[in-house]
Amino acid sequence: MPRKVTVPAAAAIGEKWGAVTPQRQTYYAANAPPAGPTWESNTLAAVGTFKSAVAAGNIGQLFSGGIKRAGAAKYTRKVTDVGVGRFGTGVSAAITDMTSGIEPYTTVLAGLTLPDKGPRGSPSNYNIVQSVGDPLHKKRLALLGAAGAS
């Protein structure tokens, strides 16, 4: 005989989640950091799935649908209620990552010798842009392990 599924009201689920989940901070602190190697191996194993997903014929509609579903109001609310309070501590926590992330590019820039600047409006001035852009792009691809790609 068919049975009806009993589901609590969404508001009740949300209220309970909001009351109980913050108490799980100790569990998160103990279990999330050691999960890094599992995250890395599982994510690398999913490269083919990722490629298929982003090449799917309806990916544009799915992407825009998600944006429309969240909407500008949610974005603004989350920035105001969460982002502003976490901004300073997030920047402080990211100093090492930012420094190590930018170092390969500052090294490339420091090693460049730029061509002489021509008169204002000279097409040869675009060579300056290219002499900076090409090595930076090459470094980016090398760091991503995609040296042959462009």
Residue-wise pLDDT for 32-44, tens only, equals 999 999 999 999 9
In a domain, 54, yes or no: no
What is the average pLDDT score of the chain?
Answer: 94
In a domain, 138, yes or no: yes
Domain interval for residue 22: 9-45
Measured in degrees and rounded to the nearest 5, phi and psi for residue 103 equal -55, -45
**Unique residue bearing structure tokens 């005989």:** 1
Measured in degrees and rounded to the nearest 5, phi and psi for residue 60 equal -65, -45
Q: pLDDT > 70: what percent of the chain?
A: 97
In a domain, 63, yes or no: no
Tell me how far apart the alpha carbons of residues 62 and 132 are, in angstroms, rounded to a whole number. 37
CA 90 to chain centroid: 14
In a domain, 16, yes or no: yes
In a domain, 133, yes or no: yes
- pTM score above 0.85: no
Count up the domains in the chain and report the number: 2
In a domain, 69, yes or no: no
In a domain, 82, yes or no: no
Measured in degrees and rounded to the nearest 5, phi and psi for residue 40 equal -60, -50
Question: What's at 39, amino acid-wise?
Answer: W
Residue 74, token pair as written in the block:
């949610």
Residue 147 has pLDDT above 80, yes or no: no
Structure confidence at residue 146 as a pLDDT band (50, 70, 90): confident
Other beta carbons within 10 Å of 144? 9
Task: State whether the Cα torsion 121-123-125-129 is positive or negative.
Answer: positive
- C-alpha atoms less than 13 angstroms from C-alpha of 54 in its C-beta half-sphere: 5
- 70-119: per-residue pLDDT in tens? 999 999 999 999 999 999 999 999 999 999 999 999 999 999 999 999 99
